[in-house]
Amino acid sequence: MYKELRGVGRYTHIALEFIDGAFEEGEHCWTGGPDDFELEIGNFIVCSVPLFQRGTYFVELKSCWLPYYDETRRKKRLEMVKNYCLNNLDHVEGYVERKLYFQCFSRLYHAMGEFLQALFISRRIYPVSYDKWIYDQLVNLLKLPELYKEFVSLMEYKNFESEEHVMKAEKIRELLFRYCTE
């Protein structure tokens, strides 16, 4: 298997990680982008293959988290992530006025990650990543090819030092309310 993976690319590696299955929500801060809660469950429970199993613990762990975590937690997390996303978007216009374009970009990038997090939570599907395999996740996993096209356009700039940041913030806000519903 390792020889096959080496052919994929220069930095390809196999990650060997040990978990106890006690997934915790952790911290989500105002300027940090999406948290890792759903990513950890998705990568460790949905996408991983245990190398060794003794007993039924992994099966029990899967039954706790699959097909998705409980509805009360899901609604709470969806609301929280949407609020963090909106907070990032709400800062963009003021930063444009102050010509802080890289800070605008940072806030938009975090909001894009939080949009993806909210999208997956709203669809009750665990993500693989918020910055890799976006095409595969949006088009193949979530069956949203039209969203992928809109999402890619958010990374395209004609003039970085401009009001484009505000228009992109408005577009992300519109996507959030269109796609990330209960």
* Confidence band of 125 (pLDDT split at 50, 70, 90): very high
Q: Which residue range is the domain that position 22 belongs to?
A: 2-179
Query: What percent of the chain is modeled with pLDDT above 90?
Result: 76
Q: How many structural domains comprise the chain?
A: 1
Average pLDDT, the chain: 93
Global confidence as pTM: 0.92
CA distance 139 to 91: 30
Q: How many CB atoms lie within 10 A of CB 140?
A: 12
* Residue 130 DSSP symbol: S
Query: For residue 17, what are its two tokens?
Result: 């990680």
Query: What is the mean predicted confidence (pLDDT) over 133-148?
Result: 98
